[in-house]
Amino acid sequence: RQLNILVDTGSSNFAVAGVPDPDVTSYFNTELSSTYKSQGIDVTVKYSQGSWTGVLGTDVITIPKGIDGSYTINIATIFESENFFLPGVQWHGILGLAYGTLAKPSSSVETFFDSLVRQAKIPNIFSLQMCGAGLPVSGSGTNGGSLVGGIEPSLYRGDIWYTPIKEEWYYQVEILKLEVGGQNLELDCREYNADKAIVDSGTTLLRLPQKVFSAVVQAIARKSLVQEFSSGFWTGTQLACWDKTERPWSLFPKLSIYMRDENSSRSFRISILPQLYIQPILGIGENLQCYRFGISSSANALVIGATVMEGFYVIFDRAQRRVGFAVSPCAEVDGSPVSEIEGPFTTEDVASNCVSVISFHEPVLWIASYALMSLCGIILLALIILLLIPPRCQHRYTDNDVVNDESSLVRHRWK
């Protein structure tokens, strides 16, 4: 069966609708597949918005273009979901292309891409072109293309600029600074990477940590030619509307993101024009065209989502541990490009490392860290008690007296 699949670089499971759903036009009926084998293991994946639960199994797939042959891969058939399949969408599942560390229910589940690299012997690299700049937001997410095993020269213009992958779980990169209208926000670079900064095709907007988001909104409001703009527009609760004959993009500034180059003493910047972050919405009024703000606040991570990615051809070079950006030819509105890449620039004005050295992204690491802290606390408390109790009342602790606090906080990182 042929299904439309959402390509998501922010998760690692391959999952498709396994039962009828009001919001999907087709689903994968495992009973009709002679090659499907259920593993009988339930798996649940939660995102910042939406979740699904399915059954893990294996099946044989073929890729229509580029790679000959059939390959056995892990696949989850979704039997229950919440805010995952949405009205009007034209996809029937999700293909997670992040690293196996994020796979559910555990990292032992081989990802789709890892299986393909191992069985088809293709290079450990894939690339994405997401198109839709300046087009009304329909939610279908069907524009663009992906290439596994290499790079397609016709899908980009100019040079490819690469930034190192800091850690292999999400595609975590290092952000050095942001500029609005050519003006630096003057934030400590650690603010951009406080939790993580990732490249995630499954996230619609450019998401920024709260402090960064507030600074960006204030800078855009100062640079904008629109007077007394509604705060609801910035928070995503209101739309801004203009006459259909007008183009409001000239009222807003360019947004630039600086990333560290493979040469750590250099950086490059990717820039998006307002056509990418002031986004038209379908079906609002007869004479008015309404727009939404394509940037939102995040509880923790900085997420380079579709708002930015639609301006670029993005290469996920896992073999070389790097992510590449080049200008996409489909990032044009009214014949003019709406994205730019420039460099190199010096990194003398930023810290030598903007990413926290310690990053606990596996639940087992959180368990271990809290267990160790609990144990240290118990030992310290015992020593204090020993020092305070008079000598005649001292008690020598035996193994049976040791208190073992096994309760720990496990931090789940959802997209």
CATH number, domain of 80, equals 2.40.70.10
Last residue of a domain, one of 346, 372, 389: 346
Summarised one tens digit per residue, pLDDT across range 107-127 is 999 999 999 999 999 999 999
Q: How many CB atoms lie within 10 A of CB 262?
A: 14
What is the CA 350 to chain-centroid distance, rounded? Answer: 24
The verdict on residue 353 lying in a domain is no
Give the span between the Cα atoms of 267 and 179, in whole angstroms. 14
Residue ranges of the alpha helices (H) in 31-166? Answer: 112-120
Please give the torsion angle defined by the CA atoms of residues 282, 284, 286 and 288, in that order, rounded to the nearest 10 degrees: -100
Instruction: Say yes or no: 169 and 260 in one domain.
Output: yes
Sheet of strand 125-129: strand arrangement: 145-148, 125-129, 312-317, 322-327, 157-164
> What are 26-67's pLDDT values in tens digits?
999 999 999 999 999 999 999 878 899 999 999 999 887 778
Is residue 284 located within the same domain as residue 364?
no
Which amino acid, 362?
E
Taken in order 158, 164, 167, 168, the sign of the CA dihedral is positive
Asked whether residue 383 carries a pLDDT value surpassing 80, the answer given is no
Higher pLDDT, 134 or 340: 340
Would you say residue 291 lies in a domain? Answer: yes
Instruction: Give the CA diameter of the chain.
Output: 91
- pLDDT value at position 137? 58
Q: How many structural domains is the chain composed of?
A: 3
- Using the predicted structure, report yes or no on whether residue 381 has a pLDDT greater than 60: no
Same domain, 330 and 373: no
Q: Rounded to 10 degrees, what is the CA torsion of 299, 301, 307, 309?
A: -170
- Are 174 and 221 part of one and the same domain? yes
Mean pLDDT of the chain, nearest integer: 86
Helix%, strand%, coil% for the chain, nearest 5:
20, 35, 45
Residues 191 and 270 in one domain: yes
Are 100 and 167 in the same domain? no
Asked whether residue 25 falls in the same domain as residue 157, the answer is no
Catalytic residues: 8, 200
Residue ranges making up the domain that contains 255: 125-346
> Residue 361: what pLDDT?
53
Cα separations (Å) of 283 from 245, 275, 293?
16, 19, 17
- Residues 292-307 pLDDT 10s: 999 999 988 999 999 9
pLDDT tens, position by position, 123-171: 999 999 999 876 765 544 446 788 999 999 999 999 999 999 999 999 9
Position of tokens 């926000």?
Answer: 185
Q: Of 197, 202, 195, nearest to 173 (Cα)?
A: 197
Q: Model confidence over 77-86: pLDDT tens digits?
A: 999 999 999 8
- Rounded Cα distance, 357 and 337, in Å: 38
Looking at the fold, whether 334 and 365 belong to one and the same domain comes out as no
Could you tell me how far CA 390 lies from the centroid of its own chain? 58
DSSP string, 29-50: -GGG-SS-EEEEEEEEEE-SS-
Structure-token pair, residue 317: 């070079």
Tokens representing 152? 């397609």
* Spatial distance between the Cα atoms of 31 and 55, rounded to a whole number of angstroms: 14
Specify if 260 maps to a domain.
yes
120, 150, 185 - which closes a domain: 120
Confidence class for position 413, pLDDT limits 50, 70, 90: very low
Do residues 387 and 339 share a domain?
A: no
Give the model confidence (pLDDT) of 174-185 as tens digits. Answer: 999 999 999 999
Distance CA 184, CA 171 (A): 25
Q: Looking at the domain assignment, is residue 355 inside a domain?
A: no
* Least confidently predicted of 157-161, 200-204, 280-284, 389-393: 389-393
Q: Collapsing DSSP states into helix, strand and coil, what is residue 365?
A: helix
Residue 7: phi, psi to the nearest 5? Answer: -85, 120
- Please check whether residues 146 and 99 belong to one and the same domain: no
User: Residue 406 region, left (φ>0) first, then alpha (ψ -120 to 50), else beta?
Assistant: alpha
User: What pLDDT score does 375 carry?
Assistant: 52
- Ramachandran assignment for 141, one of left (phi > 0), alpha (psi -120 to 50 degrees), beta (any other): left
* Percent of the chain's residues with pLDDT above 70: 82
The dihedral of CA 242, 248, 253, 258: what is its sign?
A: positive
Domain boundary among 287, 314, 346: 346
**Quick one: 310 and 201 in the same domain?**
yes
What are the residues whose beta carbons fall under 8 Å from the beta carbon of 307, sequence distance 6 or more?
204, 205, 206, 272, 276, 277, 279, 294, 295
The rounded distance, in Å, linking the Cα atoms of 292 and 335 is 22
Domain co-membership, 310 together with 371? no
